[in-house]
Amino acid sequence: NGNFDPMISLCVFGAEAMHKQATTAERLIKAGGVHENNQVDHGAGFGALS
């Protein structure tokens, strides 16, 4: 596998990490533990990664 691109791998890893973070945030929001503003921050972070 000489075509391995660490940047692509990093991007995928980052997207997965953001997805997990967002999922955790959604659970907290449902539990009433997080303000809606934080969900906007997650969206901005995910947009910056893609």
pLDDT in tens, 6-46: 777 777 777 777 778 777 777 766 666 545 554 555 554 55
Q: Which has more confidence, 46 or 3?
A: 3
What length is written for the chain? Answer: 50
Instruction: Using a cut of 0.75, tell me whether the model's pTM lies above it.
Output: no
C-alpha 13/C-alpha 21 separation (Å) is 12
pLDDT computed for residue 50 by the predictor = 44
